Amino acid sequence: MSRLAGGVALVAAHDPDEGAAGEDVGMTATAFLSVSLTPPMVLISVRTGSRMGDLLEGQPLWAVSVLAEGQRQTADRFAMRNRISDRLLFADLPHERGPRSGAPLVTGALANVECRTASRVEAGDHTLVIGHVLAAHLPSPGARPLIHFKGRYETLG
């Protein structure tokens, strides 16, 4: 499967139950795809037992930022496993809060998509989360994509 090139995205959600103001949670994903145009629906794959996987069991709102080639550092920081908190990871990351999902949307991303979970499917050691698209924005439509291929980040060209 490492021979299948894929876009790189940051999946994010806001956990209102964590601390007084809540906490933002994020994870790097290469399994993000369109499922339906009518109605607009997308799919993400999250590792079962991960913080994001656990959060999305009870939190129906989430967002995806499709990362541009200059956002490799963002992809790296949210790909780290077993971290205690994402608070510091978001602290210096330029982002805005999605008006529909309340989740962080990365500034400069190719696209930001806000979603509400429609269904979940257990699949081996992952859960496929299918979401209805609530809103989509193109912050940097002219940017080039960050791609994952053969275990490394790549760019077009």
Return the pLDDT at 71.
Answer: 95
In whole angstroms, what is the distance from residue 118 CA to residue 155 CA? 32
- CB of 67 closer than 8 Å to CB of 8: yes
- Return the domain boundaries, the chain: 6-147
- CB of 46 closer than 8 Å to CB of 56: yes
In whole angstroms, what is the distance from residue 28 CA to residue 50 CA? 12
Helix or strand run (H / E) with residue 53: helix 51-58
Return the pLDDT at 134.
Answer: 98
Return the pLDDT at 20.
Answer: 65
Return the pLDDT at 41.
Answer: 98
Helix or strand run (H / E) with residue 3: none
Say which residues have a Cβ less than 8 Å from residue 34's Cβ, sequence separation at least 6. 40, 41, 42, 43
Return the pLDDT at 153.
Answer: 87
Domain covering 6-147 assigned CATH 2.40.30.110 in the classification = no
Tens place of pLDDT for every residue, the chain, 157 residues? Answer: 777 778 999 999 998 877 667 889 999 999 999 999 999 999 999 999 888 998 999 889 999 999 999 999 999 999 987 776 788 889 999 999 999 999 999 999 999 999 999 999 999 999 999 999 999 999 998 999 999 988 888 888 6
- Amino acid at site 135: A
